[in-house]
Amino acid sequence: MHNTLIALVEDKPGVLNRVASLFRRRAFNIESLAVGHTERPGVSRMTIVVDSDKTDVDKVVQNLYKLVNVIQVDNVTEIPSVTRDLALIKVSADGGGSRAEIMQIVETFRARVVDVSLETLMVEVTGTDDKINGLVDVLRPYGIIEMVRTGLVAMARGTRTSVGNAPAD
């Protein structure tokens, strides 16, 4: 099972390195890590996905709080939330019938083609892990040349905030 942690951290140089070093020192494996600015100046938000079968999530949270630049940490796994990942997938498309087939598949998954060349199509897809994995599985026979994923981001539904579990101000 995967657990999704959200950490608010000070937006300062070296913070990501300290968090990653903590995981390395404690032999915790990071399944996914996404970092970005928040609505608050000077504060960044990390969404960290860990495998709870191999990692004691409570220990991860306790250890994150020991880092000076960590403001707040919350495990949002059990909170009703929206989670998304973004992938760019470059697929071989020789210009024959496969190009049309790939474009139909892309449309079915509500993804979109963002770059076209004579030999490839680049597809952008946003959604859950299952949706992206499903598209990858269907595109694999056409020849995936390259793929990149952003990592999971999560936000609590409604007025509840992901970090702190309190209603937003």
pLDDT, residue 165, reads 47
Contact 48, 30 (CB under 8 A): yes
Contact 6, 60 (CB under 8 A): no
Contact 32, 152 (CB under 8 A): yes
pLDDT, residue 169, reads 45
Q: How far apart are CA 11 and CA 67, in angstroms?
A: 13
pLDDT, residue 168, reads 46
Residue 105 vs residues 86, 109, 129, 142, 150: alpha-carbon distances, Å: 17, 6, 17, 11, 22
CATH of 82-153 among 3.30.70.1150, 2.60.130.10, 3.30.200.20, 3.30.70.270: 3.30.70.1150
Contacts of residue 65, Cβ cutoff 8 Å, sequence gap at least 6: 73
Q: Which residue has the higher pLDDT, 163 or 11?
A: 11
Please name which of 13, 67, 8 lies closest in space to residue 35, comparing C-alpha atoms: 8
pLDDT, residue 95, reads 64
Question: Do you know the residue count of the chain?
Answer: 169
Which tokens sit at 124?
């952008």
Whether 135 has a pLDDT exceeding 80, the answer reads yes
Amino acid letter for position 38? T
For residue range 74-125, list pLDDT tens digits in order.
999 998 999 999 999 999 998 667 899 999 999 999 999 999 999 999 999 9
Kindly report, as residue ranges, where domains of CATH 3.30.70.260 are found in the chain: 2-79
For residue range 138-164, list pLDDT tens digits in order.
999 999 999 999 999 999 888 887 675
Q: How far apart are CA 45 and CA 54, in angstroms?
A: 24
What's the rounded mean pLDDT across residues 45-52? 90
Kindly report, as residue ranges, where domains of CATH 3.30.70.1150 are found in the chain: 82-153
Q: Which secondary structure element, helix H or strand E, spans residue 61, and what is its range?
A: helix 57-65
- Fold of domain 2-79: Alpha-Beta Plaits (3.30.70)
